[in-house]
A = this chain, B = another copy of it.
Amino acid sequence: MTTVSAAPWLDVPADHPFGVATLPYGVFSTAADPVARVGVAIGELILDLAPVVRLLAPRLAPAVAGPSLDALLAAGPRTWAEVRAAVTTWLTDPSFSDQLGAHLVPARDAVLHLPFTVADYVDFYASEQHATNLGRMFRPGQDPLTPNWKHLPIGYHGRAGTVVGSGTGVVRPSGQRREPDGGITFGPSRRLDIEAELGFVVGAPSRLGRPVELTRFAEHVFGVCLVNDWSARDIQAWEYVPLGPFLGKSFATSVSPWVVPLAALDAARVAPPERTVPLLPYLDDSRTPPWGLDVRLEVRLNGHVVSRPVFDGMYWTGAQMLAHLTANGASLRTGDLYASGTISGARPDQRGSLIELSWGGAEPLRLADGTTRTFLEDGDEVVISAVAPGAGGTVIGLGEVRGRILPAGRD
């Protein structure tokens, strides 16, 4: 990939996270034009894509028409490359400035929407540190990693219908929990938590009965977003044996508005950690270019940084998750979203959930404003953001996913 400098006529600094090396896709509307439509973020602006493509590359117009990224996702990797190449040219060649000018909207004037229709939502559990930490807390006295953990990327299906856009208020869920005295009660969760995750957005579908091989990852996955998989730990702890998390997770999952194409992450690819158990052939990525990713997250609670999780230590890659997800012949649909599971690094300040950061509530976090937290309080706002290295010293921004806790029973 060649390094491109940020569009000089747009005055976007070369190290802007939404420079021309990023070009993420999203869906936006404005007060002046309230129709939801596809946009590309560039600096502090959004390029209104449909009219520009109609004008300059009409053959590609159907992929970016409509109120979501669905058509673009479904169009497949060849179209993804063509649209990205065209947008890159338009934004870097000053001769297009007149044609683009009318279709650049200040990002501050835009409302951002859930960018695609979520088909199935799957959540993995791919951080060894996170799984180890949770195993210690949920199953004390046992080996924290279950025997299968290093043989396969453990995952489960979540609720696609409650995946919400960044900024959507999250009503504190109620549910059953077991009290310390053993009694079973129902009420608002007292252990409401976050999970900082990376999400993979499937574009091209696959046929039922046909596994998708590891090496076909980039032919099916369009790009990545940030995911906050809100979790009610008290509800989860009581319900999850034997069939897994359900209501402890299904009340809301927030995703970031900008989907960063895999093509923007070339320079962020790194080798995954050494695997300490031999991998079965369908998961063995030792002879293919690796899909570890040097993505660095930041978790802010009411404006204070509480964690800086790093994706590069994740035991399982997105390519392995996809190969596993389809190994039984399960088909993919456009809009399938699968998330990595909580991203926790080796250091305590790299943990991607409050249950780990506060060690189950035993070690409250002290925020810079002097308050302390174990789990989330009503009114708390969580913002997860991320960057990755781009080619030639550029920065690839993943934007942010934001959400505020509303009191139980309000919406």
Contacts and interface: CB of A to CB of B under 8 A. Distances in A.
Interface of A: 119-120, 122, 125, 135, 138-139, 146-148, 151-152, 154-162, 164, 171, 173-176, 178, 184-186, 207-211, 232, 235, 238-248, 250-252, 280-282, 324-325, 327-333, 336, 406, 410-411
A242 B240 contact: yes
A162 B206 CA distance: 11
Contact of A332 (B161, B325, B410): B161
A329 B243 contact: no
A328 B247 contact: yes
Contacts of A186: 280-282, 327
Contacts of A135: 242
B243 A162 contact: no
A251 B119 contact: no
A105 B58 CA distance: 45
Nearest to A119: B161
A185 to B, nearest CB: 8
Nearest to A149: B242
A188 to B, nearest CB: 10
B161 A251 contact: no
A243 B155 contact: yes
Nearest to A247: B328
Given A160-B119, A174-B328, A328-B175, A244 B247 contact: no
Given A154-B243, A174-B329, A250-B328, 15 more contacts: A120-B159, A138-B242, A157-B157, A161-B331, A162-B208, A171-B209, A171-B329, A176-B327, A210-B411, A235-B328, A240-B242, A241-B242, A251-B328, A251-B329, A252-B329
A164 B333 CA distance: 14
Contact of A208 (B164, B235, B239): B164
Nearest to A278: B184
Contacts of A157: 156-159, 246, 250
Contacts of A161: 119-120, 330-333, 336
28 contacts: A120-B160, A135-B242, A146-B241, A147-B178, A148-B238, A154-B242, A155-B243, A156-B243, A156-B245, A156-B246, A157-B157, A157-B250, A160-B160, A161-B331, A171-B208, A171-B209, A173-B329, A174-B211, A175-B327, A176-B327, A186-B327, A209-B251, A240-B243, A241-B242, A243-B244, A247-B324, A248-B328, A250-B330
B162 A176 contact: no
Among A125, A184, A336, the most chain B Cβ lie within 10 Å of the Cβ of A184
A276 to B, nearest CB: 14
Contacts of A244: 156, 240, 242-245
Nearest to A251: B328
B247 A245 contact: no
B327 A280 contact: no
Contact of A330 (B147, B152, B162, B332): B162
A147 B240 CA distance: 11
A176 B280 contact: yes
Contacts of A251: 209, 328-330
Nearest to A410: B209
Contacts of A242: 135, 138-139, 146, 154, 240-241, 244
